[in-house]
Amino acid sequence: GQQVMQIPQYQHVQEGEDFTTYCNSSTTLSNIQWYKQRPGGHPVFLIQLVKSGEVKKQKRLTFQFGEAKKNSSLHITATQTTDVGTYFCAWAAGNKLTFGGGTRVLVKP
Amino acid sequence: DTEVTQTPKHLVMGMTNKKSLKCEQHMGHRAMYWYKQKAKKPPELMFVYSYEKLSINESVPSRFSPECPNSSLLNLHLHALQPEDSALYLCASSQVWPTLAKNIQYFGAGTRLSVL
């Protein structure tokens, strides 16, 4: 069945540095969503991508959907302590949302 | 108002107890969901209700019994749980597929359940 893999599982980042987390699928996706879950919190929707090659930006966050719609990336510039948390990619088929394993981000001040 | 409210926030129960988790939303969403999340793992879908009817059951054991009394409320009845059922239980809501919003889900803060 459909598998969505996220790498890396853990990301230790120095405050002020950039990093990227990747989401890779074994098959073509109709859409990809990204959620952020703070420690002790709940998933919060960040963005949805549906078009091949689509790029969207939210302040220091840049989201990209691959040309083949099999992969997606989240790039964060100038990391801040508020970026701490787990970032999940997810894809929707009808009303069913399936999450990738997540990238847990730790920020070193 | 984009809030999904879950009660209780924490619950400790014995294996012979019966308890219920509650979820409420007032965003006019007609799809509601229950997820189970273990520590350091992604949320796992349990049930989906669409227009107050159960549309997806991800082979969840019968000791978990969902109920959708109306379009704003979702319950999860728990009976004879096992210690391995201890987890964070998340409720979510969304518009029903297909819509322009395409299944953007709004999550509640969750109920942290411990089964002793």
Q: Token pair of A66, please?
A: 């691959």
Number of H helices, E strands in chain A: 0, 11
| Confidence (pLDDT) at A1 | 59
Instruction: Provide the residue type at B82 as one letter.
Output: Q
Chain B interface, mutation test: which of A45, A95, A97, most B Cβ atoms within 10 Å?
Answer: A95
pLDDT in tens, chain A (109 residues): 567 899 999 999 999 999 999 999 989 998 999 999 999 999 999 999 999 999 999 999 999 999 999 999 999 999 999 999 999 999 988 888 899 999 999 999 8
| Confidence (pLDDT) at A2 | 60
| Confidence (pLDDT) at A3 | 76
Judged by CB atoms closer than 8 Å, whether chains meet at B55 and A95 is answered as: yes
User: What's the Cα-to-Cα distance from B115 to each of A103, B35, B40, rounded to whole Å?
Assistant: 28, 17, 19
Residue B102 has pLDDT above 70, yes or no: no
User: What's the Cα-to-Cα distance from A7 to each of A43, A65, A86, A105, B69, rounded to whole Å?
Assistant: 18, 15, 12, 11, 40
Cβ distance A97 to B37 under 8 Å?
no
User: What's the Cα-to-Cα distance from B36 to each of A67, A107, B23, B83, rounded to whole Å?
Assistant: 33, 27, 14, 14
Chain A positions in Cβ-Cβ contact with residue B23 (cut-off 8 Å): none
Chain A positions in Cβ-Cβ contact with residue B43 (cut-off 8 Å): 43, 88, 99
CB of A99 less than 8 A from some CB of B: yes
CA gap B18, B20 in Å, rounded: 7
Tell me which residue in B41, B97, B110 faces A95 most closely, judged by beta carbons.
B97
Q: How confident is the model at residue B100 (pLDDT cuts 50, 70, 90)?
A: low
- Taking one residue from A and the other from B, the number of pairs with CB-CB distance under 8 angstroms is 53
pLDDT digits (tens, 9 = 90+) for B45-94: 999 999 999 999 999 999 999 999 999 999 999 999 999 999 999 999 99
CB of A39 less than 8 A from some CB of B: no
Chain A positions in Cβ-Cβ contact with residue B44 (cut-off 8 Å): 99
Tell me which residue in B40, B90, B103 faces A92 most closely, judged by beta carbons.
B103
C-alpha distance from B49 to closest chain A C-alpha (Å):
9
Q: At B66, phi and psi to the nearest 5?
A: -85, 160
Mean pLDDT of chain B: 93
Q: Token pair of A7, please?
A: 């790498």
CB of A5 less than 8 A from some CB of B: no
| Confidence (pLDDT) at B2 | 66
CA gap A14, B19 in Å, rounded: 44
